[in-house]
Amino acid sequence: MTRTVLSSASKEVVIGFDEPFVVIGERINPTGRKLLAAEMKEGDYSRVEADALAQVKAGAHMLDVNAGIPMADEPRILAECIQLVQSLSDVPLSIDSSIVEALEAGLAVYQGKALVNSVTGEEEVLERVLPLVARHGAAVVAISNDETGISQDPDERFKVARKIVERAADHGIGREDVVVDPLIMPVGAMDSAGTSALNLIRRLREELKVNTTCGASNVSFGLPNRHHMNAAFLSMAIGAGMTSAITNPLHGPEMAAVRGADVVMGHDPNCKAWIRAYREPAGDGEQGRGGRRGGRRRRSA
C-alpha cells in the first residue's frame, strides 16, 4: 500500500490506495488568465488570496500554486505566493513550475512537505529536479513524457514513468514520493484516449505501485458539457485506481463525482463526507441541525 504523505506546518494529507481521493485545486495559475497574470506581475495577490480561500472552502485538500508568467521574476513571485497561501490556509501545497529555479525558491520558503510539480522523463530535467526534491524531502509529480515528447502508446508512457521512479530511487526518493501523471489525452481527439488512460492508471498502480494524479479537465477538451465529461472520467479513473487530481474544486459535477466515487470505493465511512457536503443547509435563524443543541464533541479515539 503506497501512501504519499504531504504536509503544511500543521496539517497532513495522504494520497493513497486506501485513502479518499485527493483534490488538488488548480486555480492559482496565471496560464490563460490574463488579469491574474498582470496582477501577479505587479505584486497584487488579492486574486491569489481569493482563489486559495474559495478552493479550500469548496473542498480542495491541497492547492497547486503556479506563477508561470512570461517575462516576470517567476522564482520570486512563486515564493511570495506560497508564503501568502500558507499564511491563509493549512492545506499542503503543490509547487508548480517548469523552471527549476522557481521550484527551488518555492521549496526554500515552504513549511512542511510539499509536492513538487513536476519532473519529466527528460534527462536534463531529471538530473536537476530530483536532487532538489531529495534535498528538501519533498514528493514529486512525475509526468510520463521524455525528450521524444508524449507518446501515443500507453506502454511507452508506462516505461517513462518506470524510468522516473527508478531514477528517483537512485536519488533516495522512494516510490511513495513519486506521484505519476499518466497524461490524459482529449477523448474528443482520440476515441481510445479514455480506455488507454484507464489501463495505464491500473498498470501504474498494480505494477509500479505508485500514486497517480492528472489534469482531469484535459479529457473533455473541445467538447460541450465538459464538467459532466470530466465527472464521468474522474469516477471511472478512481475506480481504476487513480488517487488524486489537479482540478477545479469549484465545479460541482467534478466534486460530486469524486465524493460519490469515494463512497463507492469504501473510502467514506458512513457516507460522512457525502452527507456533510449535500445535506440541505439549516434555514435562517436555525442553529446547527435539527434537534441537536450542543457543540460537537471531539471523539476521544
Residues that bind other proteins (CB under 8 A): 5, 11-14, 19-22, 56-59, 61, 91, 258-259, 262, 267-273, 275-277, 279-280, 282, 289-301
Reduce the DSSP state of residue 115 to 3 states and report it. Answer: strand
Nearer to other proteins, 146 or 262 (CB): 262
Dihedral class, residue 50 (left if φ above 0, else alpha if ψ from -120 to 50, else beta): alpha
Helix, coil or strand: residue 210 = coil
Give whichever of 252 and 269 is closer to other proteins, judged by the CB atom: 269
Q: In angstroms, give the least distance from the CB of 169 to other proteins.
A: 24
Closest approach, Cβ 274 to other proteins, in A, equals 8
The residues facing 244 across adjacent strands are: 22
Cβ proximity to other proteins: between 59 and 215 the closer is: 59
**Of residues 62, 53, 41, the one with CA closest to residue 116:** 62
Q: How far is the CB of 204 from other proteins (least distance, A)?
A: 21
Query: How near is the Cβ of 301 to other proteins at its closest, in Å?
Result: 7
Q: CB-based contacts of 175: which residues, under 8 Å, 6+ apart?
A: 2, 165, 168, 169, 208, 209, 210
Among the listed residues 101, 111, 52, 113, the one whose alpha carbon sits nearest the alpha carbon of residue 77 = 101
Question: Which single residue is written with the C-alpha cell 522512494?
Answer: 174
Nearer to other proteins, 34 or 292 (CB): 292
Nearer to other proteins, 23 or 193 (CB): 23
Of 10 and 46, nearer to other proteins (C-beta) is 10
Least Cβ distance, residue 29 to other proteins (angstroms): 21
Least Å distance between CB 288 and other proteins?
A: 8
Distance CA 121, CA 144 (A): 6
Q: Which is nearer to other proteins, 189 or 275 (CB)?
A: 275
The grid coordinates of residue 231 equal: 465527472
CA-nearest of 242, 188, 234 to 211 is 242
CB of 248 to other proteins, least distance (A): 15
From the list 15, 16, 17, 21, the residue with the least C-alpha distance to 268 is 21
